[in-house]
Amino acid sequence: MADTRPILMREVNMGDMLDVLIVEYLTQRVIFFIERFGYHHLDIIESSDGAINYVDDNLYDYIFLGGDLGQENGSGTDVAEYLAENDGNPNLFTNIIIHSWCVSEASKMVKLLPHAKYLPYNERQLSTLSI
């Protein structure tokens, strides 16, 4: 089910510092994202409510959406639903990468955000991303 389409939805200049939102609660994954993409400006949040506040207040070049965000933290699907229902939000058409291993959650997010790329979390694959 992994998507092989090109990642860029909105033009970004490679080499520029980018604004990246990472929606993830697992410490190991957060550390990986910091190590891999820490030369960009990263906003890291572990709850869907927090992520919704971030997408309302900021414009991102990339958004990485996890699936399940832990007990009482919501899910990436909550964020995807919010973006899909608020078509005036400029982050709706940003470069969104769904990195959830949960196929049911990922499928819901892809239906809500058909331009998003589904790339199940895999450090080797994510390390090859050029952002």
pLDDT < 70 positions in the chain: 1-15
Ranges assigned E (strand) in 36-122: 41-45, 62-65, 95-98, 117-118
CB 45 within 8 A of CB 65: no
Q: Between vectors from CA 25 to CA 23 and to CA 28, what angle results, nearest 5°?
A: 110
Give every CB contact of residue 61 below 8 A, 6+ residues apart in sequence.
10, 12, 18, 19, 20, 40, 94, 95, 131
pLDDT given for residue 9 in this prediction: 47
Work out the angle between the directed axes of helices 76-85 and 103-112 (0-180°, nearest 10): 10
Does domain 19-127 sit in CATH 3.40.50.2300?
A: yes
pLDDT given for residue 93 in this prediction: 85
